[in-house]
Amino acid sequence: MATKNHDIKDPTLAVAGKLRIEWAYREMPVVKLIRQRFSIEKPLKGVRISACLHVTTETANLALTLKEGGADVIVCASNPLSTQDDVAAALVEYDIPANAIRGEDEETYYKHINTALDHEPQLTVDDGADLVTTLHTKRSDLISNVIGGTEETTTGVIRLRSMEKAGKLKYPLIAVNDAQTKYLFDNRYGTGQSTIDGVTRATNILWAGKKVVVCGYGWCGHGIALRAKGLGSQVIVTEVEPVRALEAVMDGYQVMPLLEAAGVGDIFITTTGDKNVIDKAHLQVMKDGAILANSGHFNVEINIPALESLAHSKRRVRPFVDEYTLSNGRHLYLLGEGRLINLAAAEGHPASVMDMSFANQALCLEYMVKNSGMLKPKVYSVPEEIDKQIARLKLSSMGIDIDSLSPEQKEYLTSWEEGT
Ligand SMILES: NC(=O)c1ccc[n+]([C@@H]2O[C@H](COP(=O)([O-])OP(=O)(O)OC[C@H]3O[C@@H](n4cnc5c(N)ncnc54)[C@H](O)[C@@H]3O)[C@@H](O)[C@H]2O)c1
């Protein structure tokens, strides 16, 4: 249903969406505490926010929190295949315009980003930097309104840092991804669990005994490898960074070049933020029946044009599973059109990890407003105090207490005089 400022698939899905948003909120105690404070203090009063995020139940809870803080929020999708249409419908009922339809084509995807920009944001929230780059390249007349913004994911932070380096970044942004309470949990445990969930829902395969090739041993790769191993798979890691490769070896995985792994793997999962990681040469030597999935931000990690060129036929055999029959007679199965499989075929990260990621988002947006005009057009880290505060709140929501340093220990840890 399209109106001037929202565009969703079906407004009647709102009832189901609201129930799911409520369900996720139960697992978001830190966001809940922030929402309670925001509702009293209204730190974002009257601030226009354009948020380009995966439209999931957790995102809805962030948007509702920002609204409770007084903000005027509009939402658009950060990926064509990650939108939960019931959530988009519920957002509209909550008076938060949503511009997101699952499976939208590229033209609609950018139309939705442009509608979010028509809101003339003072703050931007992005996941992958498509909104920020569109604002800088095609809608630069709107930049003078902007106080600042936040970026949710590794790939977005990489893009913003290269904009900063090229002198093209025009307003301050905080790299939410780089907070410890984000990447150590969201990227590792969130992507780990939900990627396995996405592949399972798409294929219903048994993981035990499978050879799973994880391309990229960053934080997402750590999580995926760990969870696949836990389910009984033999995990092979491929890397280009020697330290990470060494870490994978000592974590108990086999490490080898992808060309070697290509011939033995049953399931391949990319999570590098890089392009053409699985390329033509790898596809040519894969076993009959090999499954290919991606959990990195963009659908460029598996060279899909190369796969298309090697195939003489293609058919959809299950939702999210495309079977490619190659000229050599083998079948390869591409999941979710190479888009992040945890959001395409499953529901994305569990709410409990998004609780911390989105607590970072809410507190960083508040920080931006408080420090309006004082920050330079560069990529900032999440202030350490925010990171620590979120960890403390999460621990306390789990009923876990920790020790604190005694005055003697504090002094010892900041001095150099004492030795053996
Ligand atoms: N699916 C999700 O929900 C989700 C969540 C968080 C992040 N992400 C995305 O996942 C991707 C990875 O994120 P991360 O935080 O793990 O990044 P990271 O930077 O920690 O790790 C990426 C790793 O990939 C390696 N790499 C790069 N090119 C490679 C190649 N050709 N072959 C093998 N390894 C290669 C790098 O050396 C690095 O170790 C990014 O695109 C990020 O935006 C997705």
Q: What is the 3-state secondary structure (H, E, C) of the chain?
A: CECCCCECCCHHHHHHHHHHHHHHHCCCHHHHHHHHHHHHHCCCCCCEEEEEECCCHHHHHHHHHHHHCCCEEEEEECCCCCCCHHHHHHHHHCCCCEECCCCCCHHHHHHHHHHHHHCCCCEEEECCCHHHHHHHHCCHHHHHHCCEEEECCHHHHHHHHHHHHCCCCCCCEEEHHHCHHHHHHHHHHHHHHHHHHHHHHHHCCCCCCCEEEEECCCHHHHHHHHHHHHCCCEEEEECCCHHHHHHHHHCCCEECCHHHHHCCCCEEEECCCCCCCECHHHHHHCCCCEEEEECCCCCCCECHHHHHHHEEEEEEEECCEEEEEECCCCEEEEEHHHCCHHHHCCCCCCHHHHHHHHHHHHHHHHHHHHCCCCCCCCEEECCHHHHHHHHHHHHHHCCCCCCCCCHHHHHHHCCCCCCC
Q: Work out which ligand 1 atom sits closest to the CA atom of 273.
A: 41
CA of 75 to the centre of ligand 1 (A): 25
Q: Work out which ligand 1 atom sits closest to the CA atom of 155.
A: 43
Regarding the beta carbon of 69 and ligand 1, being less than 6 Å apart is answered: no
What is the residue with the minimal CA distance to atom 37 of ligand 1? 241
Tell me what percent of the residues of the chain surpass a pLDDT of 70.
100
Over residues 391-401, the mean pLDDT reads: 97
CA of 237 to the centre of ligand 1 (A): 13
CA of 240 to the centre of ligand 1 (A): 11
Neighbouring-strand partners of residue 151: 126, 175
Mutate which of 154, 194, 243, 260 for ligand 1? The one with the most ligand atoms within 8 Å of its CB, which is 154
pTM for this predicted structure: 0.94
Regarding the beta carbon of 270 and ligand 1, being less than 6 Å apart is answered: no
Q: In this predicted structure, what is the pLDDT of residue 2?
A: 67
CA of 303 to the centre of ligand 1 (A): 16
Regarding the beta carbon of 340 and ligand 1, being less than 6 Å apart is answered: yes
pLDDT digits (tens, 9 = 90+) for 47-96: 999 999 999 999 999 999 999 999 999 999 999 999 999 999 999 999 99
Q: In this predicted structure, what is the pLDDT of residue 12?
A: 98
Q: How many CB atoms sit inside 10 A of residue 217's CB? A: 27
Residues 63, 28: Cα–Cα separation, whole Å: 13
Regarding the beta carbon of 336 and ligand 1, being less than 6 Å apart is answered: no
Q: In this predicted structure, what is the pLDDT of residue 76?
A: 98
Q: In this predicted structure, what is the pLDDT of residue 4?
A: 75
pLDDT digits (tens, 9 = 90+) for 124-140: 999 999 999 999 999 99
What is the residue with the minimal CA distance to atom 20 of ligand 1? 218
CA of 155 to the centre of ligand 1 (A): 8
pLDDT digits (tens, 9 = 90+) for 33-45: 999 999 999 999 9
Regarding the beta carbon of 43 and ligand 1, being less than 6 Å apart is answered: no
Q: In this predicted structure, what is the pLDDT of residue 1?
A: 65
pLDDT band at 369 (very low <50, low <70, confident <90, very high): very high
Using the predicted structure, report yes or no on whether residue 113 has a pLDDT greater than 80.
yes
Using the predicted structure, report yes or no on whether residue 325 has a pLDDT greater than 90.
yes
pLDDT digits (tens, 9 = 90+) for 234-289: 999 999 999 999 999 999 999 999 999 999 999 999 999 999 999 999 999 999 99
Using the predicted structure, report yes or no on whether residue 315 has a pLDDT greater than 70.
yes
CA of 62 to the centre of ligand 1 (A): 25
Regarding the beta carbon of 274 and ligand 1, being less than 6 Å apart is answered: yes
What average pLDDT does the structure give for the chain?
97
Over residues 177-181, the mean pLDDT reads: 97
